Amino acid sequence: MTDETREAPPGGWREAVAAARDEGFAFLDWVTAVDHTDDDAAPGFDVVCHLLDVGTPGALRGLLLTTRVADGEPVPSLTGVFPGAAWHERETHEMFGIPVEGFDDGTGLGLRPLLLPDGFEGTPLRKSFRLAARASKPWPGGKEPGEGHDSARSPSRRRVQAPGVPPPEWGPR
């Protein structure tokens, strides 16, 4: 299966998804976002919707729709087009802090926490979110995560257990 990709303007997001549904892409797979706030040319978030056309047996087609919204700018809700988008929009709002305009999941409760514990502050999938483990103690590696690792120049370093993982001797024997 190969996915076709399309971009939509933020104001035409809901209409682009509805048009794709009417073309046969009637299965909502997922909705999420990608943080591009560090993009100098057009900072913001790409809101992404993956749709599938399952109408022809043996010929599955996919469509990836995106729209770029600025930080703090709302994205129109897809719940009027695909009621199942409610869960995905709640997750995207909670994890990225992207407002969703016109959200209606039929409960009348609006956008509310979905995955994070009560009292959690922050948006953990944003690039600017600081991990608690990184705030409480220095990074044990020679380089920050994501930096290049040239084995010819990098000093060897001890293996470090991930925070929260118990040592091998812990637990029942």
Q: What is the pTM assigned to this prediction?
A: 0.76
Per-residue pLDDT, 171: 60
The CA distance from 140 to 162, in Å, is 11
Contact 27, 53 (CB under 8 A): yes
Per-residue pLDDT, 57: 86
Count of CB atoms situated within 10 Å of the CB of 102: 13
Q: Is the pLDDT of residue 77 over 80?
A: yes
Cα–Cα nearest to 38, from 115, 126, 123? 126
Q: What residues does 81 pair with on adjacent strands?
A: none
pLDDT band at 130 (very low <50, low <70, confident <90, very high): confident
pLDDT band at 27 (very low <50, low <70, confident <90, very high): very high
Give the CATH H-level superfamily of domain 3-73: NADH:ubiquinone oxidoreductase Nqo5 subunit (3.30.460.80)
Q: What residues does 32 pair with on adjacent strands?
A: 48
Domain ranges of the chain: 3-73
Q: State which amino acid sits at residue 161.
A: Q
Per-residue pLDDT, 10: 87
Q: Is the pLDDT of residue 23 over 70?
A: yes
Per the prediction, the chain carries an average pLDDT of: 86
> Hey, what are 133's tokens?
């483990």
Q: Is the pLDDT of residue 173 over 60?
A: no
